C-alpha cells in the first residue's frame, strides 16, 4: 500500500529519538520510498495526460471526477513520502549534531566489536549506566550512510570554527550549573596518565581522585570518569 | 541565596585585600564591577532560555563579559604563579589560596551562563533555520552591527549548517526525487515547510518597569503591568517589551 513505507520510516525516526546511539541507516527503506515516489510521479503524469484527453471530449463526467481524485491522492502521497524522508534524515542529523557537541571521537568499525564484548563480560558497562533519556552518548561510524559521514565532518568543522571565536570558553562543557571547582571522581575505565595543573594521576579502574572539575570534564564525557 | 553569600565573601576579601596585597588592586575593581554585568548576564540568559523566539544578540554585554572573563583568567594564572613562588617566604597565607578559589568558582559560573546563553541561541537557530535566514536577509542589511538579531559568528554558523543539511538531504534522497519535490521551502500543497518559532506560546513574565504600563492583547483587551507583577502572556504580545527591558521572562 502506498504510504506504508513512509510510515515505517517515521516510526523508525520516532524510535531513534529515544536511543543513546544512532542505529543503522535504513538505506533499503529510503531507497524503496524514493522508488515509490518516482512510480507515483509516473502515475501522476499519466493521469494528467489522461485528464487532458478527457477534457477534450467530456463524454463521461463521472470518469473525469474519478481521475481528478486519483491525481490528487497521488500528489498527496508524493508529498507525504518526501516529508517522511525529510523527517527521518533531520532526526538523524540532529542526533549527529548533538553528538558533535560532546567532544568525543566517534567509534570506528574496529573499535566497536571488542568494546561490545567488554561490555558483555563487564557487569558495569559505562554505556548502560547512562540513563536512557534520549541523549546521544556514542556514535558508530559504520551506522552512518556515506552522506551522513560527510555531514558529520562538515558539522565538526563548523563547530570548531564557531568555538574558535570564544577561546576562553568551553562551549561544549556541561550544561549543568557548576557547584564546586573540585570534585570527587571514580575511574570507570583504565586509561593513560592524566596531567593537570595540580599534578598527575593515573586512570586505574575503581580508583578515586579529588580533582578540579574543569580539568576532567572531557574525561567524564568520554566515560572514563564518574562524578561521585 | 548562595549567590549573595559568595558575593558577600568576595566583598570582604576585596576589602581585606586592599590592605594586604596591594599588588592586585586592579582585580578588586574587576570583581566589584562584575556584579552589575553578572546581573545583566543572568537576565539575558534567562530571557533567551525562556523566549520561544530568538532575541536580539547582546553584542555589548557579551563582548564585555568575554573581556572580563579573560582578564580574570589572566589574573588567576598570574596569581597562581605569584603564590607558587612566594609560598615558602610566608608572604602568602591560607586566605590567599581561598581567595583564588573563589575567583575561580566565579569564573566557572560566568562561563556556565555564557555557555547556556550561546547554546540556547544556537539550538533555536538550528530549529528554525530557514525562518531566521529569511528574517536576517531582509531588513537587517543596512542596520548596525550591535543591534542585529544574530551575531556574525551565529550568522556564519547558521548559513553553513543549513548548507550542509541541504547537501545531506540532496545526497540522501532529494536528488533522486521528481524535480518539483526537491524544494525545502515549499509552501504549496497546503502546508508550509518552514517551521516558525511558536510565538503564540504563553510565557511567564515579570514586570520590572517602575511605571505601570498597558499592553494590548487580542480583541481590544488590555492588560496593565505593574512593577514586580507576574503575568502569563502570549509571547507575541510581550516581545517588544522584553527587548526594551521593561519585563523579564522567568
Residues of A in Cβ contact (< 8 Å) with B171: 146-147, 150
**Cα distance from B162 to chain A (closest Cα, Å)?**
10
**Cα distance from A93 to chain B (closest Cα, Å)?**
8
List the domain boundaries for chain A: 4-94, 109-163, 182-227
How many CB contacts within 8 angstroms connect chain A with chain B?
Answer: 109
Q: Is the Cβ pair A181, B115 closer than 8 Å?
A: no
pLDDT number for residue B89: 61
**Cα distance from A138 to chain B (closest Cα, Å)?**
20
Residues of B in Cβ contact (< 8 Å) with A48: none
Q: Does CATH number 1.20.58.1030 belong to domain B2-126? A: yes
B65: closest CA among B102, B101, B113? Answer: B113
B179 shares contact with chain A (CB less than 8 Å):
no
Q: Is the Cβ pair A33, B173 closer than 8 Å?
A: yes
Instruction: Say if residues B42 and B242 touch (Cβ distance below 8 Å).
Output: no
Q: Is the Cβ pair B172, A30 closer than 8 Å?
A: yes
List the domain boundaries for chain B: 2-126, 131-181, 202-249
pLDDT number for residue B144: 53
Which one is the CATH code of B202-249: 1.10.1200, 3.30.1360, 3.40.5, 3.30.70?
3.40.5
What ipTM, to 2 d.p.? 0.70
Calculate ∠ Cα A153-A158-A163, nearest 5°.
Answer: 125
Residues of B in Cβ contact (< 8 Å) with A97: 126
Instruction: Say if residues B214 and B223 touch (Cβ distance below 8 Å).
Output: yes
Report CA torsion sign: B216, B131, A135, A180: negative
pLDDT number for residue B25: 42
One digit per residue, the tens of pLDDT, for chain B of length 250 reads: 444 566 666 666 555 555 444 444 444 444 445 557 778 888 888 888 888 888 888 888 888 888 888 888 888 888 877 777 766 665 666 677 788 888 888 888 888 888 888 888 888 888 888 888 887 776 544 445 556 778 888 888 888 888 888 888 888 877 777 777 777 766 665 566 777 778 788 888 888 877 777 777 776 677 777 778 888 888 888 888 888 777 888 7
B70 shares contact with chain A (CB less than 8 Å):
yes
Instruction: Say if residues A168 and B69 touch (Cβ distance below 8 Å).
Output: yes
Gyration radius of chain B's alpha carbons? 24
Cell of residue A57, nine digits:
471530449
* Ranges of chain A whose pLDDT falls below 50: 110-133
- Give A 190-219 residues with CB within 8 A of chain B: 197, 213-214
* pLDDT digit string, tens, across residues A138-157: 677 777 888 888 888 888 88
pLDDT number for residue A128: 35
Q: Is B228 left (phi over 0), alpha (psi -120 to 50) or beta?
A: left
Taking the C-alpha atoms of residue B52 and residue B200, their distance in angstroms, rounded to an integer, is 9
Report the Cα B10 to chain-centroid distance in Å. 24
Q: Is the Cβ pair A180, B116 closer than 8 Å?
A: no
Q: Is the Cβ pair B181, A175 closer than 8 Å?
A: no
Amino acid at each position: 500500500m502506498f504510504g506504508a513505507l513512509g510510515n515505517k520510516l517515521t516510526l523508525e525516526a520516532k524510535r531513534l529519538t529515544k536511543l543513546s546511539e544512532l542505529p543503522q541507516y535504513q538505506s533499503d527503506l529510503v531507497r524503496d520510498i524514493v522508488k515509490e515516489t518516482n512510480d507515483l510521479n509516473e502515475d501522476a503524469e499519466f493521469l494528467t495526460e489522461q485528464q487532458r484527453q478527457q477534457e477534450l471530449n467530456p463524454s463521461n463526467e463521472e470518469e473525469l471526477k474519478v481521475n481528478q481524485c486519483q491525481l490528487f491522492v497521488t500528489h498527496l502521497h508524493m508529498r507525504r513520502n518526501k516529508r517522511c524522508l525529510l523527517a527521518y534524515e533531520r532526526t538523524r542529523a540532529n542526533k549527529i549534531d548533538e553528538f558533535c557537541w560532546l567532544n568525543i571521537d566517534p567509534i570506528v568499525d574496529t573499535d566497536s566489536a571488542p568494546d561490545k564484548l567488554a561490555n558483555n563480560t563487564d557487569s558495569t558497562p559505562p554505556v548502560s549506566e547512562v540513563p536512557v533519556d534520549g541523549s546521544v552518548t556514542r556514535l558508530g561510524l559504520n551506522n552512518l550512510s556515506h552522506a551522513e559521514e560527510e555531514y558529520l565532518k562538515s558539522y565538526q568543522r563548523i563547530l570548531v570554527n564557531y568555538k574558535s571565536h570564544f577561546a576562553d570558553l568551553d562551549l561544549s562543557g556541561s550544561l549543568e550549573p557548576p557547584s564546586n571547582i573540585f570534585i570527587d571522581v571514580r575511574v570507570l575505565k583504565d586509561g593513560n596518565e592524566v596531567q593537570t595543573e595540580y599534578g598527575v594521576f593515573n586512570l586505574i579502574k575503581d580508583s578515586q581522585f579529588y580533582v578540579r572539575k574543569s580539568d576532567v570534564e572531557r574525561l567524564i564525557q568520554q566515560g572514563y570518569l564518574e562524578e561521585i | 541565596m548562595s549567590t549573595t553569600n559568595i558575593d558577600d565573601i568576595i566583598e570582604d576579601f576585596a576589602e581585606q585585600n586592599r590592605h594586604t596585597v596591594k599588588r592586585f588592586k586592579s582585580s578588586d575593581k574587576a570583581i566589584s564591577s562584575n556584579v552589575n554585568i553578572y546581573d545583566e548576564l543572568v537576565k539575558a540568559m534567562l530571557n533567551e532560555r525562556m523566549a520561544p523566539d530568538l532575541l536580539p544578540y547582546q553584542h555589548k554585554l557579551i563582548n564585555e563579559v568575554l573581556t572580563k572573563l579573560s582578564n580574570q583568567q589572566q589574573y588567576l594564572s598570574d596569581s597562581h604563579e605569584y603564590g607558587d613562588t612566594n609560598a615558602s617566604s610566608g608572604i602568602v597565607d591560607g586566605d590567599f589560596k581561598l581567595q583564588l578559589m573563589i575567583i575561580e568558582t566565579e569564573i566557572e559560573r560566568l562561563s556556565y551562563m555564557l555557555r547556556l546563553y550561546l547554546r540556547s541561541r544556537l539550538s533555536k537557530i538550528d530549529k528554525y533555520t530557514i525562518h531566521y535566514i529569511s528574517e536576517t536577509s531582509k531588513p537587517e542589511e543596512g542596520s548596525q552591527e550591535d543591534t542585529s538579531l544574530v551575531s556574525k559568528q551565529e550568522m556564519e554558523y547558521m548559513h553553513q549548517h543549513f548548507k550542509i543539511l541541504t547537501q545531506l538531504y540532496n545526497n540522501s534522497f532529494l536528488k533522486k526525487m521528481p524535480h518539483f519535490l526537491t524544494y525545502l521551502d515549499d509552501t504549496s500543497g497546503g502546508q508550509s515547510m518552514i517551521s516558525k518559532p511558536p510565538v503564540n506560546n504563553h510565557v511567564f513574565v515579570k514586570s520590572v518597569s517602575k511605571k505601570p504600563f498597558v499592553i494590548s492583547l487580542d480583541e481590544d483587551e488590555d492588560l496593565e503591568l505593574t512593577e514586580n507583577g507576574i503575568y502569563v502572556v502570549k509571547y507575541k504580545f510581550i516581545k517588544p517589551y522584553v527587548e526594551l527591558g521593561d519585563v523579564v521572562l522567568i
